[in-house]
Each structure stands twice: as structure tokens, then as C-alpha cells.
């Protein structure tokens, strides 16, 4: 793809800044409509918020409770499309809402029936009332003191960083160019002050390139203000970062396939306990942050809140010693007009904005609605760049690796989709690559070689945090296997002992954020 970048003459139709859910979605939409598309990501794909979500593909039961019908309708439609187009990456997940007050039961039953109905033809299962005995049967580790019963309902669950990579591969399949470790450091304008391109720094070589573009899309999530300020230095901040953290604990806290959803904790938040890659994800929080950062850190109060709340609903109280990893992400919420609102009340709808110079900025939304956000953004780009009008095709576009026969709940390689078989071929050619270097993560040598050759993994962190999800699942185990991972990567990339040493140092530094 670097070769294509050098070879390409004339302006790109669409240059996307940011390789998270939003930017990659835009790249897929634009490339699949046939536009000449380039995406530039400053770090690795999904390094930002897009690898740090609760991993739900959902309409948002909470937004229904808040009466935001249009948001829920849109998200439920998108949930259905994601499950249809990427069955190797998104699975149907059953959630149980336990009821501890007699009035909760009827309230959630009615609400969830509406939720089912709103999904229409794209529905994935009917909600149902549970007796106390059934609730305990579904969730044997649920706290039973005062338990009245429950409701079971269905939403989607996915591996966010793997989804991001598959979107990158889908864009490439349609001739798009997607590059990681390319930081946009400036915008270029013509004599009429209209945006005509970007200045980008290749962070591996230090070289700066000037790239011409008919349209430039700012899809940088919580960093959107920084890019906007490259366009208009005095423009006011529009993003309100809000931090959410998750704790990952052993499967014994939730041994079955059912997840728990608590719609209202004692301070009015939503709390999930969801089985994921053979572990359990507990979260999340909603804490206002001053500034965006790429590697946000969990606050002590957030960790305590999750442990304490989980203990109220589980038989066994999780403690700090039980936490295998902690990860934090920043929601790129749109700043409300005026002050005094908490982020829970700030709109979760997305916004497409166009500056006087033609910079298109897309903010807000959520992973689940990435496709619709992309469609709206590219529709705007067609107008701004006077591009030939072409219809969006992503409603029915299978995501790269589409394979409906792989079972995500039983096969750890299912997220590779059809590429799983090529990965296994690698092992057949070289049986040493079939060696499992961590049972717990799980991780085999072939995955490392595959990620370097075919998934643009450039660092040990890329490998252990996003090509496989080890850093999110068990940070200590990742530190144990990091030297072996670095060695295999160095061989593939042609790097020396110094590279290995630097990588291990950098990885240990990042991994310290995932430990408590
Ligand atoms: C705690 C939490 C839980 C969530 N859970 C869910 C969930 O369960 N389901 C759901 O649907 N949604 C969820 N969301 C929302 C969802 O994760 C986000 O809406 C989505 O990931 C945002 O994607 P993005 O691409 O806009 O931002 P990001 O993923 O942050 O991507 C922006 C990218 O831009 C890059 N960038 C910045 N500046 C530059 C530059 N100058 N040059 C090049 N690149 C640059 C960054 O490196 C980054 O990778 C959750 C969010 C949080 C915080």
C-alpha cells in the first residue's frame, strides 16, 4: 500500500484521517462506491476508542429508557446489518436483567418487548420473563438475596479491534489504501482557502509527504478538535471526552454463556458483565475528562466502583487480585450547548459538520452505527468534492472474511473468517508454527507470523493488543510471552536485537496501564 501511495498520480477523491470504527467505515463506504480512497492512521488501526468498547453491537436498552427512539431504531437496524454482513465477527448474545424489586419485572418486560418489535425483520431473538429459579439457572453465580426474577433479551457481541482490521481489509479489497503509523500533521489549502490535501508524516521513516485530495474527512474521534484546529486555529472545542473503564476477570465469575445487564446501578449507570473470549468483561463507567489521550488510564474510584457494583450482583465479590486486565476508552461525545450536563445526558447521535474550507468532520455515534455514520459522511463528501454521484452499497456488503459457518463461541480462530484456513495452511507448511505459546490468551505462533505478513502488525503491542486481544484479557500473561512474540516478529520483519529490546521496553510501559 505504501507503493500505491507513492505511485498514485493526481488527487485522491477521499482522504480519511483516523483509523478507528468511524474512519475505517468511511474508507469501506467510499472505496466500495468506487472512489479513490486513502486512510491515514497515526498509530495502529483501532488504537483509540475503537478497541476499548464494551464489545456490544446493540440498540441500547438504556436509550430506550431515556426515550431516544430514533437512536434506538437506527442502532437496531445497524445491529441487524452487522450480524448479517459479518457473522464471523458478531454473535448473538443473551443478556439477563435480574430483578430485585417487584416493579422492575413488568417494567423491563414491556420495554424489552418494544425493543424486540423495533428490530423488525432484523430481530435476533424474543425477550422473555424469567422466574427466580430460571434466573438462577441461567446465571448460577447471580446474587440471590432479594432476587425476584428476571428478563432475558438478545443483543450482538463482537471483537472490536478484529472488526476494525476486517474493515481495513474490506477497504483494500475495493482498491482503497489504508495505512497505519501515518500522522496527519497539517492541512493544505488552495489560493481560495479551500482544502486541497494533507501533510502526513510517516512515523517509521520520519519522512513528510504532501498528499492531494478532493475531500478530507476528519474521523479522529476524541482528537477531532485538534484536526479542526489545523483548519481553523481559533475554533472552539466541540468534543467532550468521557472515560469508560472495564475490568476483565476469570470465567468462574460468570461461567455460563449468559451475560448480566443492570440497567440502573445505585448511581443511575448501566453495568454489564459479559463473557468474552473465555473471560468476563465488567463495565463500565462514565467519567468526564479534560483532554483526549491515546492511552487513557483507569482511575482508582472507577475500579472500586466496578468491583463494588459487581459484588452486589454476583455471589462472589471480585477483588483487585482477581482483575486480569483493566482497559479504558474515551467516548467522543458531542459537547452540549451550555454547561451543567453530565455526559450521560449528552447526545449519543452522530454529527457530520462541514467547515468553510470544506473539511468534513464526523463525530459522536457508536461502533454499532459505524456503517450509517460512514454513509452520511460519504454522501456529504460527494457534494463537497463534486464527485460523481454513486450509491452506497454497504447495506448488503459482506465484511472481509465473511463466513457464516464459523462459530464464535467455540472457535477462537473464527474472527479470521475465511482466512482461518490460510492460517492453518501456514501451520501445515511449517509445523513449528502450530505451537501454542499461551493456552490462556490463547496464542499460537502462526498468528504472529500471519499478523506481520497480512495484517500490518508493526509492534509487539499491535500484536498482543489488537491482532489478538491478549493485553485486554490477561496483561500479566502477555508480559510473559512478549519476548517470544518479539523474537518471531523480528525474524519476520528483519529487525535486530536492539529492536527487540526497544519493543519489550515499550510494551512493558503500555502494559502497565492494563494492570492494577
Ligand atoms: C468505554 C466505552 C464503551 C463503549 N462501548 C460500546 C459498545 O459496546 N458498543 C458500541 O456500539 N459502541 C461503544 N462505544 C462507542 C464506540 O467505541 C465509539 O463510538 C467508536 O469506537 C469511536 O470510533 P472513532 O473511529 O470515532 O474513534 P477512535 O477509535 O478513537 O479513532 C480515531 C482515530 O484517529 C486517529 N488519529 C487522531 N489524530 C490523528 C492524526 N492527526 N492523524 C492520523 N490519525 C489520527 C487516532 O489514533 C484514532 O485511532 C464505547 C465507547 C467507550 C469509550
SS3 208: strand
Q: Which atom of ligand 1 is nearest to the CA of 45?
A: 49
Tell me, using a 6 A CB cutoff, whether residue 220 lines ligand 1. yes
CB-side neighbour CA atoms (13 Å) of 86? 28
Tell me, using a 6 A CB cutoff, whether residue 368 lines ligand 1. yes
Tell me, using a 6 A CB cutoff, whether residue 361 lines ligand 1. no
Tell me, using a 6 A CB cutoff, whether residue 202 lines ligand 1. no
Q: How far is the CA of 6 from the centre of ligand 1 (A)?
A: 28
DSSP of 261-322? EES--TTS--EEEEEETTEEEEE---EE-SS--SS----HHHHHHHHHHHHHHBSSPP-GGG
Q: How far is the CA of 330 from the centre of ligand 1 (A)?
A: 7
**Per-residue pLDDT of the chain in tens (516 residues, 90 and over written 9):** 999 999 998 999 999 999 999 999 999 999 999 999 999 999 999 999 999 999 999 998 888 877 888 999 999 999 999 999 999 999 999 999 999 987 777 878 888 999 999 999 899 999 999 999 999 999 999 999 999 999 999 999 999 999 999 999 999 999 999 999 999 999 999 999 999 999 999 999 999 999 999 999 999 999 999 999 999 999 999 888 999 999 999 999 999 999 999 988 877 789 999 999 999 999 999 999 989 999 999 999 999 999 999 999 999 999 999 999 999 999 987 676 665 555 555 567 899 999 999 999 999 899 999 999 999 999 999 999 999 999 999 999 999 999 999 999 899 999 999 999 999 999 999 999 999 999 999 999 999 999 999 999 999 999 999 999 999 999 999 999 999 999 999 999 999 999 999 999 999 999 999 999
Contact 245, 303 (CB under 8 A): yes
Rg of the chain taking only CA atoms, in angstroms: 23
Cβ-proximal residues to 165 (8 Å cutoff; 6+ apart), any chain: 45, 46, 455, 466, 467
Mutate to test the pocket of ligand 1, among 18, 21, 23 (most ligand atoms within 8 A of CB): 18
Grid-cell match 494492570, residue found? 515
| Cα separation, 310 vs 145, whole angstroms | 14
Dihedral of the alpha carbons of 255, 258, 263, 267, in degrees to the nearest 10: 10
Q: Which atom of ligand 1 is nearest to the CA of 43?
A: 47
CA angle 135, 252, 153 (to 5 degrees): 35
Tell me, using a 6 A CB cutoff, whether residue 223 lines ligand 1. yes
Tell me, using a 6 A CB cutoff, whether residue 298 lines ligand 1. no
Tell me, using a 6 A CB cutoff, whether residue 287 lines ligand 1. no
Alpha helices in 352-403 (DSSP H): 370-384
**Which residue in 21, 96, 52, 44 sits closest to 374, CA to CA?**
21
pTM for the full predicted model = 0.97
Amino acid at each position: 500500500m505504501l507503493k500505491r501511495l507513492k505511485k498514485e498520480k493526481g488527487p485522491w477523491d477521499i482522504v480519511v484521517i483516523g483509523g478507528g470504527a468511524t474512519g475505517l467505515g468511511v474508507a469501506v463506504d467510499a472505496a466500495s462506491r468506487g472512489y479513490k480512497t486513502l486512510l491515514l492512521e497515526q498509530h495502529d488501526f483501532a488504537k483509540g476508542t475503537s478497541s476499548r468498547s464494551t464489545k456490544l453491537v446493540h440498540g441500547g436498552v438504556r436509550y430506550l429508557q431515556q426515550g431516544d427512539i430514533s437512536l434506538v431504531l437506527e442502532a437496531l437496524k445497524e445491529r441487524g446489518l452487522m450480524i448479517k454482513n459479518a457473522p464471523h465477527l458478531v454473535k448473538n448474545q443473551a443478556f439477563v436483567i435480574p430483578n430485585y424489586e417487584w416493579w422492575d419485572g413488568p417494567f423491563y418486560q414491556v420495554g424489552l418487548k418494544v425493543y424486540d418489535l423495533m428490530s423488525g425483520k432484523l430481530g435476533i431473538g424474543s425477550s422473555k420473563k424469567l422466574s427466580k429459579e430460571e434466573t438462577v439457572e441461567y446465571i448460577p453465580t447471580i446474587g440471590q438475596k432479594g432476587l425476584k426474577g428476571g428478563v432475558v433479551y438478545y443483543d450482538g457481541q463482537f471483537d472490536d479491534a478484529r472488526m476494525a482490521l476486517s474493515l481495513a481489509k474490506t477497504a483494500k479489497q475495493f482498491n482503497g489504501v489504508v495505512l497505519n503509523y501515518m500522522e496527519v500533521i497539517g492541512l493544505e489549502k488552495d489560493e481560495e482557502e479551500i482544502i486541497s490535501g494533507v501533510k502526513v508524516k510517516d512515523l517509521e521513516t520520519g519522512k513528510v509527504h504532501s498528499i492531494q485530495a478532493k475531500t478530507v474527512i476528519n474521523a479522529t474521534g476524541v482528537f477531532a478538535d485538534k484536526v479542526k484546529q489545523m483548519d481553523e486555529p481559533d475554533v472552539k472545542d466541540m468534543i467532550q471526552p468521557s472515560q469508560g473503564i472495564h475490568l476483565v476477570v476469570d470465567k468462574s465469575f460468570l461461567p455460563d454463556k449468559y451475560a448480566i445487564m443492570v440497567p440502573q446501578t445505585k448511581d443511575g449507570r448501566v453495568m454489564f458483565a459479559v463473557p468474552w473470549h473465555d473471560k468476563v468483561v465488567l463495565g463500565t463507567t462514565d467519567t468526564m475528562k479534560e483532554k483526549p489521550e491515546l492511552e487513557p488510564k483507569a482511575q482508582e474510584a472507577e475500579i472500586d466502583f466496578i468491583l463494588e457494583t459487581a459484588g452486589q450482583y454476583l455471589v462472589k465479590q471480585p477483588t483487585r487480585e482477581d482483575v486480569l486486565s483493566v482497559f479504558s476508552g474515551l467516548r467522543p461525545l458531542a459537547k452540549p450547548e451550555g454547561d451543567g450536563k453530565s455526559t450521560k445526558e449528552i447526545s449519543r447521535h452522530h454529527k457530520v459538520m462541514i467547515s468553510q474550507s470544506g473539511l468534513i468532520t464526523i463525530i459522536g455515534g457508536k461502533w454499532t452505527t459505524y456503517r450509517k455514520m460512514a454513509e452520511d459522511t460519504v454522501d456529504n463528501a460527494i457534494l463537497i468534492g463534486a464527485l460523481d454521484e454513486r450509491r452506497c452499497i454497504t447495506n448488503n456488503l459482506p465484511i472481509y472474511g465473511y463466513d457464516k459457518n464459523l462459530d464464535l463461541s467455540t472457535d477462537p480462530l473464527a474472527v479470521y473468517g475465511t482466512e482461518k484456513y490460510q492460517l492453518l495452511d501456514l501451520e501445515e507448511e511449517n509445523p513449528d508454527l502450530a505451537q501454542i505459546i499461551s493456552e490462556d490468551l490463547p496464542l499460537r505462533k502462526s498468528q504472529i507470523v500471519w499478523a506481520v505478513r497480512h495484517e500490518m502488525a508493526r509492534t509487539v503491542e499491535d500484536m498482543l493488543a489488537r491482532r489478538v486481544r491478549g493485553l485486554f484479557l490477561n496483561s500479566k500473561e502477555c508480559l510473559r510471552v512478549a519476548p517470544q512474540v518479539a523474537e518471531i516478529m523480528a525474524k519476520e520483519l528483519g529487525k535486530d536485537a536492539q529492536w527487540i529490546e526497544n519493543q519489550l521496553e515499550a510494551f512493558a510501559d503500555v502494559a502497565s496501564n492494563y494492570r492494577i
